[in-house]
């Protein structure tokens, strides 16, 4: 299992780092990555374009992965949510156990949007904020109630992507 997860993560980490992102943590079969936007890195539209390139590259790499189990070849489901917003980061924890991470509404929204990607059978979904910064000809997928947010959030998907029917 560890070997399979490492192959899966290699597909994503290579794409993220290659496009200027940083992986902050691994959580089960998921990961949290950030792409800093500041005066040293470039404007938000440029960074969001790089984020989308990383997501597409990671998707292609994950889709190429196959894991044979007996006579069956298993494929990996890949889902990513993209959002742009302010975060707080640092060592968080208690006692002798601290973990470097980021927190805030932007992180919470991205995590919850990833679950929507799975429900919709899509690999890439983006928030309205991300879609407004990275003009890609997005396909509107609807508004969804999000736990912890008072207002439903509008979600968008890649125009070239068709939903995968989940069994």
- Confidence band, pLDDT 50/70/90 cuts, at residue 6: confident
- Exposure string for 114-137, b = 16+ CB within 10 A, e = fewer: bebbbebebbbbbbebbbebbebe
**Is residue 167 situated within a structural domain?**
no
pLDDT at residue 22 in the model: 93
Choose among 43, 45, 47, 60: nearest CA to 19: 47
**Is residue 163 situated within a structural domain?**
no
Residues in contact with 16: Cβ distance below 8 Å, sequence separation at least 6, in sequence order: 22, 23, 33, 35, 54, 58
Say yes or no to pLDDT of 167 above 60. Answer: no
Q: What is the pLDDT of residues 19-78, one digit of tens each?
A: 999 999 898 888 999 998 876 666 888 899 999 999 999 988 888 887 667 777 777 778
CA distance 12 to 117: 17
**Is residue 75 situated within a structural domain?**
yes
Cα dihedral: 164, 127, 102, 120 (round 10):
-20
Q: What is the pLDDT of residues 131-163, one digit of tens each?
A: 999 988 899 999 999 999 999 999 999 988 877
pLDDT at residue 55 in the model: 93
List the domain range (segments joined by +) for residue 18. 2-157
pLDDT at residue 164 in the model: 66
Looking at the structure of the chain, the number of domains it has is 1
**Residue 141 belongs to a domain with what CATH number?**
3.30.70.1230
Stronger pLDDT, 163 or 86, i.e. the higher one:
86
pLDDT at residue 64 in the model: 83
N-term to C-term CA, the chain:
22
**Is residue 165 situated within a structural domain?**
no
SS3 annotation, 14-46: HHHHHCCCEEEEEECCEEEEECCCCCCCCCHHH
pTM: 0.84
């Amino acid at each position: 299992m560890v070997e399979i997860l490492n192959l899966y993560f290699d597909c994503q980490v290579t794409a993220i780092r290659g496009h200027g992102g940083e992986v902050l943590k691994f959580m089960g079969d998921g990961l949290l990555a950030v792409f800093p936007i500041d005066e040293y890195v470039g404007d938000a539209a440029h960074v969001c374009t790089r984020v989308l390139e990383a997501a597409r590259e990671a998707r292609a790499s994950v889709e190429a992965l196959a894991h044979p189990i007996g006579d069956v070849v298993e494929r990996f489901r890949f889902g990513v949510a993209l959002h742009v917003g302010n975060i707080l980061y640092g060592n968080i924890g208690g006692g002798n156990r601290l973990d470097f991470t980021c927190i805030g509404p932007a992180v919470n929204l991205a995590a919850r949007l990833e679950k929507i990607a799975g429900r919709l059978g899509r690999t890439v979904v983006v928030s309205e904020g991300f879609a407004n910064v990275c003009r890609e000809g997005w396909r509107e997928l609807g508004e969804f109630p999000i736990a912890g947010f008072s207002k439903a959030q509008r979600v968008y998907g890649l125009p070239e992507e068709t939903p995968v029917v989940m069994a």
